[in-house]
Chain A
Amino acid sequence: MRRGVLLLALVALCAGCGGSKKQTFVGDALIPPPVAPGFTLHDDAGRAVSLASQRGHYVIVTFLYTHCQDVCPIIAGNLNRALKTPTAQAAGLTVLAVSVDPKGDTAAAVRTYVKERGLVPKFHYLIGTHAQLAPVWAGFHIGVEAGVNGVVGHSSAEFLIDPTGHERLLYGKGVEPASIVSDLKTLMGKS
C-alpha cells in the first residue's frame, strides 16, 4: 500500500513537472502585457485611423519611413505577406505603420510607396507632423533620430496587439510572416 502511494506521488510529481501548459511564442512576450498607447493619425488619403478603432482585432504597430534603404522595406514586405495569410485574415489582422520621418513621408511619397510595394488595404501607412508623431514614438519607446541626407535612425520594432488593446508580442527587424502566423494561432488557441 505504501509503495502504491509512493508510486502515485512519483507520477503526480512527474505530471507536475511537465504538465504546465505554457504558451510559447516566436516573438518576445511582453509580461505583463501593457495597454498599447492610443493614437490617431492619418493615411495618405487624409483618412483618420486610430488604434482604438481596431479593438476586437489583432493589430501590428510598426515604425517605418519611405526613404529607408535599410530594414524598413524588408519589414514592410514581410508584414504585407503576413497580412495575406488565411490566419491573419481570420484574426482580422491590421498593420499600422507609423512614420518616423515627418519631413520625408509626405502623402505623395507614401502613396507611391504603397503602390510600388503592393501594400494591401489592411496595411495602413500613417503620417503626421513631428508634433503628432513624436508622442506615438515615445509611447512605444521608439528611438528616432533624423540624420543627414534623409537618413533616419530609428528602433526596429513590431508590436502585436491583441483584440483588447494590449501589447502581447514584440518582433524585430527579422520578423517573418510564418512567425506572425504561428503566434497568432497560439494566441487564438489554434496551435
Chain B
Amino acid sequence: MADSRLIALVAVLAAAVAIGAPAALADGDPASDYLLSEPIFLPIDHPVSPSQASAFQKLVLGAEKSGLQIKVAVISSKYDLGSVPILFGTPQRYADFLGQELFYYYKHLILIVMPNGYGIYDNGKSTVEERAVLAKLPPAKSDNGDVLTAAGTRAVEALAKRYGITISASASSSKGSSTNSERIEIALAALVVVVLTLGVGLVRRRWRSR
C-alpha cells in the first residue's frame, strides 16, 4: 500500500511538472504543486472512479468557462496533505495555507473538500458570503473519494448559484480550447505566414522578370 501511495504521489508530481507548472513550487503538500496548473486535486489515498473524476473536472472547467474561476482540492486523509498532516480535519485552515502557497500564481477561488466540511480562499479577499453558502451544505462524512467528489460537486454548484452563474454543460469540455489572447496570437501568426508567402512570391516574380 505504501508503495502504491508513493507511486501515486510521484505520478501526481510528475504530471504537475510535465504540464508546465511554474518554477516556484510549494513545499510538501501535493495539492499545492498540482493546482499550479490543474483545476482539481483528487485524493491519492482513496482514489476517485475515472468517470466521477472526469465529470468533476468537466464541472470545474465548465464553471470556469461560465465565469466562476475556481480550483478544488479534495482531501480524503492526512496522506493527501503531505508535510502538513496537522491540517487534516480543518478545511478552512488548509484553504488559507494553500491559498498563501498559490497566492502569486492563482488569483481566484480555492475550494477545499474534506470529510468534515469545506474551506474556501479567495486570494486574500473576504470569503464571508462563500463560507455562509458552504456552511449550509452537508459534509461528506466519508473518506471515500467518490463521496467526497460528490460533495465537491455540490459545493461548486452552490457557489455558482450564489454568484448567479449557470454552469453550461457545453462549456465543460473547454480545456483544450484557446483563450482570446491565444486566438489573437494564432490569427497574427497566420497573418504573418500569409504576408511572408505573398512577399516571397513577389520577390520570385520580380527576380524572374529580370
Q: Which of B96, B100, B103 has the most CB of A within 10 A?
A: B100
Count of chain A residues with Cβ under 8 Å from any Cβ of B? 32
CA distance A168 to B82 in the complex (A): 29
Other-chain contact of A148, B24, B26, B86, B103 (Cβ < 8 Å) = B86
From known contacts A10-B196, A14-B192, infer whether A153 and B104 are also in contact, taking CB-CB under 8 Å: no
Selected from A6, A70, A172, the residue in CB contact (under 8 A) with B199 is A6
Report yes or no: A153 in contact with B84, Cβ–Cβ below 8 A. yes
The DSSP consensus for interface residues of chain B is: helix
**B47 is an interface residue with CB less than 8 A from chain A:** no
Residues of B within 8 A of A10 (CB): 195-196, 198-199
**A70-B83, A141-B100 given; A13·B27 CB < 8 A:** no
A170 to B26, CA, bound (A): 11
User: Measured between alpha carbons, how far is A27 from B104 in the docked complex, in Å?
Assistant: 13
- Asked whether B192 lies within 8 Å of A17 as measured between CB atoms, the reply is yes
Chain B, residues 91-128, CB within 8 Å of chain A (1/0): the string is 00100111111011100000000000000000010000
Q: How distant is the Cα of A142 from the Cα of B97 in the complex, in angstroms?
A: 8
Given A17-B192, A153-B86: A70 touches B206 (CB 8 Å cut-off): no
A143 touches B196 (CB 8 A): no
**A3 in the interface (beta carbon within 8 A):** yes
Interface residues of A in 89-136 (CB under 8 A from B): none
Residues of A within 8 A of B28 (CB): 70, 153
Enumerate chain A residues within 8 angstroms of B22, measured Cβ to Cβ.
28, 172
Docked-complex contact A153 and B27, CB < 8 angstroms: yes
CB-CB contacts below 8 Å: A64-95 with B: 70-71
- Asked if B27 and A155 sit within 8 Å, CB to CB, the answer is yes
Over the window 193-206 of chain B, the binary record of Cβ atoms lying under 8 Å from chain A Cβ atoms (1 yes, 0 no) is 00110110011001
Task: Say yes or no: A27 contacts B192, CB within 8 Å.
Answer: no
* CB < 8 Å neighbour of A142 from B23, B83, B100, B196: B100
Q: What is the interface of chain B, defined by CB distance below 8 A to chain A?
A: 22-29, 32, 82-87, 93, 96-101, 103-105, 124, 188, 192, 195-196, 198-199, 202-203, 206
Given A143-B97, A147-B86, A174-B23, 4 more contacts at CB 8 Å?
A: A14-B196, A71-B27, A147-B85, A151-B83
8 pairs, CB–CB < 8 Å, chain A vs chain B:
A28-B22, A28-B24, A70-B28, A145-B93, A155-B27, A170-B104, A172-B22, A172-B24
